[in-house]
Copies of this chain bind each other. A is one copy, B any other.
Amino acid sequence: MPKIYAISLNPAIDYVLKFKELKLDKTNRPYQTDMYAAGKGIHISLLLNELEFENESIVFLNGHFADFFIQDLKANHVKYQKFSTNGEIRINLKLIDQFQTECSVPGPEISASEFEKLLAYLKEVIQPGDYVVASGSLPSNCPTDVYQKIGIAVKQNEGHFVVDAYGESLLQALQTKPFLIKPNLDELEQTFKVKITTEKQLFEYAQKLIDLGAQNVLLSRGEKGGVLINQHSIVTCGIYQWGKKLENAAGAGDSMLAGFIVKYINTSDFNEALKFSVVCGSATAYSSRIASRELIDELNQKNHLMETKKLV
């Protein structure tokens, strides 16, 4: 059975404060606070743990707050491999009242020599057929070709490369012909510096990513579900009357990716993988953090309520 690696070059601690009403220019007293290890790669590991699928989070972090982060990974049974940064791990804010106000802080730099250690590690551990997911924002001063370099290392070991990024770092990574990428509408617009207004345009720009090298494009469309595009077909998969309320969309895209890969490994069926990716993404969107196995199993029962159609 292959193994899944999730790389977080720029993880974060999320500091969540809940208020009755957050008022600017005042001293506010939250009624609840929480703090935990976060970032796209961590979300992927948490979901894979729910699915009991063997995985490892590769994290770059340092400093006093790194101990807290690592202890949170351990508490959540996330297996990890640690590399160092040139400064403290960042602490991002989620200030929640009737709105959600976020503060996203730049991460510390990674030295070229530490990044080389990552590439050497990948070349050492990746077995043919393993999956490596590189996702999330890049650390400050990080060259845009780092995802490309990771992709080359993964390919050399005959692994599958998955990248969740946008803009220049995605375009450069496409040259390695990654197995899967997962943009949303915003990320397509930012990558191609266009405004997309119709579904036709959306699919056209997704297909451009295929032309540029992606083997499969998993388009995430929030409550509209997902679309899988490759050289042969466009398959849409929507949610129909699941009777659940959106709780917190953070991590939904990461859960889609994780669910897609697991189901594809188990079935080699792209349509089943797409359906299960929508189940996992939705389950997380219906949860305050990452979806539980119970909710995933419950929604998975409902897959007869899903629609898939082949467009091309």
A residues lining the B interface (CB < 8 Å): 15, 17, 19, 22-30, 33, 64-65, 67-68, 71, 91, 93, 95, 99-106
Contact = CB atoms under 8 A, between A and B. Distances in A.
Given A25-B99, A64-B71, 18 more contacts: A17-B93, A17-B105, A22-B24, A24-B99, A24-B101, A25-B101, A26-B102, A28-B102, A28-B104, A29-B105, A29-B106, A30-B105, A33-B105, A64-B65, A64-B68, A67-B67, A93-B93, A95-B103
A24 B26 contact: no
Contacts of A105: 17, 29-30, 33
Top 9 nearest A-B pairs (CB, nearest first) are A25-B99, A64-B68, A27-B102, A28-B103, A64-B67, A24-B101, A24-B99, A27-B104, A33-B105
A255 to B, nearest CB: 20
Main SS at interface, chain A: mixed
Copies per complex? 2
28 contacts: A15-B15, A17-B93, A17-B105, A19-B103, A22-B103, A23-B101, A24-B24, A24-B99, A24-B101, A25-B99, A25-B100, A26-B102, A27-B102, A27-B104, A28-B102, A28-B103, A28-B104, A29-B104, A30-B103, A33-B105, A64-B64, A64-B65, A64-B67, A64-B71, A65-B68, A67-B67, A93-B93, A95-B103
Most buried by B among A15, A17, A64: A64
A29 to B, nearest CB: 6
B15 A91 contact: yes
A31 to B, nearest CB: 10
A122 to B, nearest CB: 29
Nearest to A103: B28
